[in-house]
């Protein structure tokens, strides 16, 4: 029987998809991406691994002198961050070895997330390839930061959120006690709970249990006075040069030499100085929690209007909340972009044609990949040029920030669209 060229091409395409969907192909892709990321981390050196050196100093000082963050002094991170920082210190005796083990720890965490993602139905393998493409586009910044551990936690929490919300809440709370971003997932889980009983059982109790353990450890170690000081530490910061809200000032530097960017050697970041940036930073202190609560209210309303789409609503809500944590944040560190990949990867893996997955997620997924690549272009590739106010680097940073705002607006618009049409269908159990 003869075959037409079109049929032959279709068979080749099916075979290619089948091969790429296999676990050997997924793990080869995982290994290649992570090997490249680790190589880039060493190439860029302190730009990527500088924070890892701080992690090592904090925990080795604690181990050697008994002077621990939170237990002995205010800290920029929640208490739970000490856990992953401590692991490489217990296993190594040198700075290079600490960095290697740290990157290995992040790689293992991401491997667990990929294993869960690849088993998601109906399109787990597509979700894995998107996730790997996103990490490669973002570059090495995530592997040298706590955010490299947070992203897999967020991803797994979102993958299990509909069927196992209590587990998702446990993961989100653990993540939030390492760094606050996974708290966005906890907020969305609360907003999508269908009734008070579900809220208490699946959100309040798991979150309270994890929090009780962390606070109990703090009290046992004498750190009860500092366990919540991380919020005050953030409040004292000024407008970071990479922040979305700093864009008007960084662009204005192209023609206004009076706008100053200076290094803060206490928190190791570059900040925009002046009355205008200070006013924006103070406004963002209010705007961020207000935006988070308004988005949670929108998610709550939409989930009640469309219980048949609770999975999409949860992922859209998480996307919007995580984007809001970047857009309305006066701290604009490049590794924050790692937060927004997980809901997109989960949506691709869990979506289907009947749910309108392509309509809802194709453009956001493409936009997120572009944002990730532009982020790497700003940091670490052109960071010196960006700080110096060079036109190309400044333009790249401004476009990236505009895309982040567009992604947030798009998520909100889609939630509103879902809320405008009501369906009386019982939500899946």
Per the DSSP assignment, residues forming a β-bridge with 261 are 272
Q: Are 102 and 81 contacting, i.e. CB atoms less than 8 angstroms apart?
A: no
Angstrom distance (rounded) from CA 180 to CA 81:
10
Helix (H, G, I), strand (E, B) or coil at 414: helix
Residue with the two structure tokens 């009983």: 197
Rounded distance between C-alpha atoms, residue 88 and residue 56, angstroms: 8
Query: In 119-162, which ranges are continuous DSSP H helix?
Result: 124-138, 147-160
b/e code 380-396 from CB counts within 10 Å (16+ = b): bbbbebbbebeeebbeb
pLDDT of residue 264: 85
pLDDT at 234: 64
- Residuewise pLDDT in 10s, the chain (429 residues): 445 666 767 777 777 878 888 999 999 999 999 999 999 999 999 999 999 999 999 999 999 999 999 999 989 899 999 999 999 999 999 999 999 999 999 999 999 999 999 999 999 999 999 999 999 999 999 999 999 999 999 999 999 999 999 999 999 999 999 999 999 999 999 999 999 999 999 999 999 999 999 999 999 999 888 888 776 666 668 999 999 999 999 999 999 989 999 998 877 889 999 999 999 999 999 999 999 999 999 999 999 999 989 999 999 999 999 999 999 999 989 999 999 999 999 999 998 665 667 788 999 999 999 999 999 999 999 999 999 999 999 999 999 999 999 999 999 999 999 999 876 544 444
Closest CA to 320 of 343, 348, 302: 343
C-alpha 40/C-alpha 45 separation (Å) is: 8
pLDDT at 429: 45
Would you state the pLDDT for residue 232? 62
The distance of Cα 73 from the centroid of its chain, to the nearest Å, equals 27
Interatomic CA distance for residues 174 and 167, integer angstroms: 11
Angle between helices 391-420 and 357-376 (to 10 degrees): 160
- Locate tokens 């139905």: which residue? 121
């Amino acid at each position: 029987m003869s075959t037409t060229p079109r049929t032959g091409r279709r068979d080749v395409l099916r075979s290619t998809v089948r091969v790429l969907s296999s676990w050997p192909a997924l793990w080869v892709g995982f290994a290649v991406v992570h090997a490249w990321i680790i190589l880039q981390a060493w190439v860029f050196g302190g730009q990527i691994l500088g924070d890892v050196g701080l992690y090592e100093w904090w925990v080795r000082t604690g181990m050697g002198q008994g002077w621990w963050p939170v237990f002995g002094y205010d800290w920029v991170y929640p208490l739970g961050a000490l856990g992953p920082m401590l692991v490489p210190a217990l296993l190594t005796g040198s700075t290079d070895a600490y960095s290697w083990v740290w990157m290995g720890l992040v790689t293992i965490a991401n491997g667990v997330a990929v294993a869960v993602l690849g088993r998601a139905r109906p399109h787990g393998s597509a979700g894995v390839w998107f996730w790997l493409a996103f990490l490669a586009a973002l570059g090495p910044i995530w592997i040298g930061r706590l955010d490299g551990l947070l992203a897999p936690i967020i991803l797994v929490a979102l993958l299990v959120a509909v069927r196992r919300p209590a587990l998702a809440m446990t993961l989100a709370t653990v993540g939030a006690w390492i760094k606050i971003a996974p708290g966005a997932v906890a907020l969305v889980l609360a907003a999508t709970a269908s009734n008070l009983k579900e809220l208490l059982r699946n959100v309040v109790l798991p979150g309270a249990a994890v929090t009780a353990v962390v606070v109990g450890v703090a009290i046992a170690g004498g750190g009860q006075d500092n366990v919540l000081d991380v919020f005050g530490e953030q409040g004292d910061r000024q407008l970071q040069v990479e922040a979305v809200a700093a864009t008007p000032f960084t662009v204005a530097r192209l023609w206004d030499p009076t706008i100053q960017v200076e290094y803060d050697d206490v928190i190791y970041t570059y900040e925009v100085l002046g009355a205008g940036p200070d006013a924006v930073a103070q406004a963002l202190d209010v705007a961020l929690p207000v935006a988070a609560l308004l988005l949670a209210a929108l998610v709550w309303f939409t989930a009640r209007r469309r219980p048949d789409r609770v999975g999409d609503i949860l992922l859209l809500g998480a996307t919007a909340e995580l984007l809001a944590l970047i857009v309305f944040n006066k701290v604009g560190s490049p590794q924050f972009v790692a937060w927004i990949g997980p809901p997109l990867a989960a949506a691709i893996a869990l979506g289907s044609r009947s749910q309108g997955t392509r309509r809802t997620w194709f453009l956001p997924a493409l936009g997120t990949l572009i944002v990730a690549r532009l982020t790497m272009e700003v940091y670490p590739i052109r960071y010196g040029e960006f700080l110096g106010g060079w036109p190309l680097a400044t333009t790249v940073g401004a476009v990236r920030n505009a895309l982040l705002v567009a992604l947030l607006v798009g998520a909100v618009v889609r939630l509103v669209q879902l809320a405008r049409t009501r369906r009386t269908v019982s939500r899946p159990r």
